[in-house]
Structure 1
């Protein structure tokens, strides 16, 4: 076992950013403690070895709060007093994101985008959100107070010409509260789609799409889930909270009925397009995962759930009462996972694996397989 510091970071050492609270802990020790904590929180089951992450350069998305002034903006996080802490060289981000930061600053200055000042509640530009694909392509979102600056942004988009952008959009979020995005999205340039090629599947991300922030670990998570599904060889699979279809499209096989349900229509459109491109036998529908029919002859043999941090809530009781024989539960919150498992005593956890989606923090991604007792 090694004992070296996980990752060198000047921001952490200078106490400018301590978001990676475990950065001064050796990475193998981080993994061991994470595994022990997850095992203590969940019922007994067989555990595979945890899947490690690269210690740096793994984040495919940068959510940069913008502060400072038009001529000297900071791109990073906000201090407790609302002032900006510039983190443009954060070593967690994939290299195309780091390389793009000077051009983003140039756009702020050229388009005269006044950074939003939280204490005074004045200003226009709140966040710059940049996502990188495995192919090195980028998608940019600007979170703005209003549409006032859109003509200037369009006029000065040429300062981004050196970047491999497939999409530039503006999200309008006028409210003075800690809500990242608003209801209106305006496409400014490009197709509005970023292709995330994962295990040979070209998932499509639109500006509002959710995708794991660690592409290599997400790919491993999909591979593991697919292997467990193939071991069980169900005739039918239902992917709830399916997003852009990652689990469902990985699980699709000739002769296997695969379906996905997601509340966001934009994500379902993307999943359908990818399924058509692959020729995959998978169908997708817009709907509330908690209201899906799990009873009778049409009940799926296996259900995949990948909910938000709050867990699956009332769906756990419905799964307990259902005819579903097997569940794969992918969770980013062991505490809500434990609560949900307690509500499904007839679905026994048989094996699990930790995926370190968020290195240098206490957060854990866990995949658990449950089978009907």
Structure 2
């Protein structure tokens, strides 16, 4: 058995040579090994300390900025650097955008072997208070004063206690200490590991995951908190099917509007919805501009969720079919179509399976893809088989988008007409993107 490599705790000085996709600075150590340094920017001279040492690479964190880059700014949040929720607050928003655009284009070229004919202008919006969906970690730590509520620390399972979170919707982000006090007042503060946040336009909801029964007194306390704050409070003792409101005033009536299309989209707190409402509206508008929905045009919406794209497409008169793997989401999509007085078809199918391929079969003029981070590779042959001359792809993972783009171009005769980023998650290294494929 080989000897374990010892990691020096002594600080190291270095010049940062570039920036990795996840927003960390890159340098090389004396052995030529790449070192990925948290909180360091290209061109800076820093003093760093190793956090992880491997044979081919190392990880570190900057403990002192000796020569700061001209573009470095002071982080807005006092918890930046400890809390793992954000990675780029030391970089101005416009520089974050430029970095994410570089990541997208590099991935498209390196992984997919493609380059867009047109670069789309980035979709941008508010950079604070934008996040409507989140999972907050909860930990009962008596030695630190009681209950901690926040995100995990960077590269650590520990919970970073925060008094407020400026990226969260203010209805929740400004009540972090109140949430900690609430959990601490319950009979089982050590059995609540998570609070799920879900915000609509008019209501915001909190789902408390609990691993032991809540007492009547606990439920009264939660109901009082809901009444005092206007937040909907729900409990979850098991899987998502066990989510129930703690009081009638915490009814499940979350929704968001898509004003350009006179559409209201209802959803449950545990449903997938986009985290950034202004960017979502802009994304839908951009998608419909490329899809050109109108009466007589047939459009297939794959990974349709609760109908985020399907409903506006139907409003514009297109004959639209939405397919989604989660039956609950399809039920909500059907209900949303009925509520909005829209005619759309929906089906439940796992789009990574043969069944999904069969469900996606048929003739369509255009296809909308909005897959999870794993991408849409398995359903691409079916997409090509629809005869669609245009595919619009909304992506939450540039690497899988690049892979799928390469397949659409090399194997199915499409060309990458346009691509660009959507700043769905400001201050993080997360890259959401938009791509348009055409074939003659």
**Same fold by TM (over 0.5)?**
yes
Moved more, 189-198 or 234-243: 189-198
> Structure 1 residues 81 and 284 mapped into 2: Cα distance closer, same or farther (>3 Å)?
closer
Residue in structure 1 matching 2:421, options 327, 330, 354: 354
Do the aligned partners of residues 255 and 131 (structure 1) sit closer, same or farther apart at CA in structure 2, a change above 3 Å counting?
A: closer
- Aligned pair 1:338/2:402, yes or no? yes
Which residue number in structure 1 is paired with residue 151 of structure 2? Answer: 77
Q: Which residue of 1 aligns with 2:93?
A: 27
Find the aligned partners of 1:104 and 1:321 in 2 and give their Cα distance. 51
Distance 2:290 2:438 in 1: 12
Larger radius of gyration: 2
Q: CA–CA distance in 2 between the matches of 1:237 and 1:86?
A: 47
C-alpha distance in 2 between matches for 1:254 and 1:219 = 15
Given the superposition, is the C-alpha separation of residues 153 and 332 from structure 1 closer, same or farther in structure 2, using an over 3 Å criterion?
same
Partner of residue 67, structure 1: 139
The alpha-carbon deviation at position 54 of structure 1 amounts to: 1.8
Counting only pairs closer than 5 Å after superposition, residues 107-122 of structure 1 correspond to structure 2 as 107-115=182-190
Query: Cα–Cα, structure 1 residues 81 and 255, in superposed 2: closer, same or farther, change >3 Å?
Result: closer
1:182 shift after superposition: 5.9
Moved more, 323-332 or 199-208: 199-208
Cα 1:20–1:237 change in 2 (3 A) is same
**Which structure exhibits the higher relative contact order, with contacts defined as CA atoms closer than 8 Å and separated by 6 or more residues?**
1
Equivalent in the alignment of 1:279: 341
Contact kept in structure 1, 2:83 and 2:152, CA below 8 Å: no
Residues 88-143 of structure 1, C-alpha deviations (whole Å, 9 max, x = no match): 4111112111244354334313322323xxxxxxxx101112222233x1111011
Query: Which position in structure 2 is the counterpart of 1:203?
Result: 265
Aligned in 2, Cα 1:99/1:339: closer, same or farther, shift over 3 Å? Answer: same
- Map of 1:50-61 to 2, 5 A cutoff? 50-61=122-133
Where 1:330 maps in the other structure, the secondary structure is strand
After superposition, the C-alpha distances for 1:146-170 in whole angstroms (9 at most, x for unaligned) are 4x126443232223212223x4322
Contact 1:75–1:86 (CA under 8 A) maintained in structure 2: yes
- Structure 2: segments with no counterpart, 5+ residues: 1-69, 109-113
Deviation at 1:273, TM superposition (A): 1.8
Matches within 5 A, 1:120-135: 124-135=191-202
Q: TM-score, normalised by structure 2?
A: 0.73
Q: Tell me by how many angstroms 1:316 deviates.
A: 1.8
Give the TM-score taking structure 1 as reference length.
0.85
Query: Could you tell me which residue of structure 1 aligns to residue 329 of structure 2?
Result: 267
Calculate the aligned-residue CA RMSD, in Å: 2.6
Aligned residues: 351
**Unaligned ranges ≥5, structure 1:** 116-123, 174-180
